[in-house]
Amino acid sequence: MNARRLSLLIALLTAWVAMLGSLYFSEIAGFTPCTLCWYQRILMYPLTLILGVALLRREEGVAWYVLPLSLLGAGFATYHYLLQKTTLFGSGAVCRAGVPCTVAYINWFGFVTIPFLALTAFLIITLAMLFFLTAAPAATGQAEEEAI
């Protein structure tokens, strides 16, 4: 397996773990997602499909589809995390209806919250896609050999 396929696989597995983790937190643990959580889900869930299809089809341009979603997701997750952990943004006007975005359902080690987990996933996917862009494509013979 060449470096590009490995980076694609890492991004796919990260997206799957993030999606399944968010479903666990909402459907099994019973944590109701806030508005910002929904935005992050909207940006993460399609990545599982996009990355899966790209891996199967050996899509060379996948990074250009994934990076906008992962960077936007990282932005939402960063804002959400700062909203929970600091007073930098005040009361969180985005989440006035329903569950407040400042609620931290988990707080592992005093800093790991659900937005922190989402941010980590978005950053891993972003870094994997940047590596995908900079890694040399497989030689034609190697690509044919891997397909067998």
DSSP string, 118-136: HHHHHHHHHHHHHHHHHSP
Q: What is the dihedral of CA 12, 14, 18, 19, to 10 degrees?
A: 10
CA–CA separation, 3 vs 5, rounded Å? Answer: 6
Residue 43 has pLDDT above 50, yes or no: yes
Whether pLDDT at 146 is above 60: no
Boundaries of every domain in the chain:
3-137
Q: Is the pLDDT of residue 66 over 60?
A: yes
Mean pLDDT of 104-124: 93
pLDDT given for residue 148 in this prediction: 41
Say yes or no to pLDDT of 45 above 70: yes
The tens digit of pLDDT for each residue in 69-106 reads 999 999 999 999 999 888 877 665 566 667 888 888 88
Q: Is the pLDDT of residue 145 over 70?
A: no
Architecture of the domain spanning 3-137: Up-down Bundle (1.20)
What is the spatial distance between Cα 118 and Cα 80, in angstroms, rounded to a whole number? 10
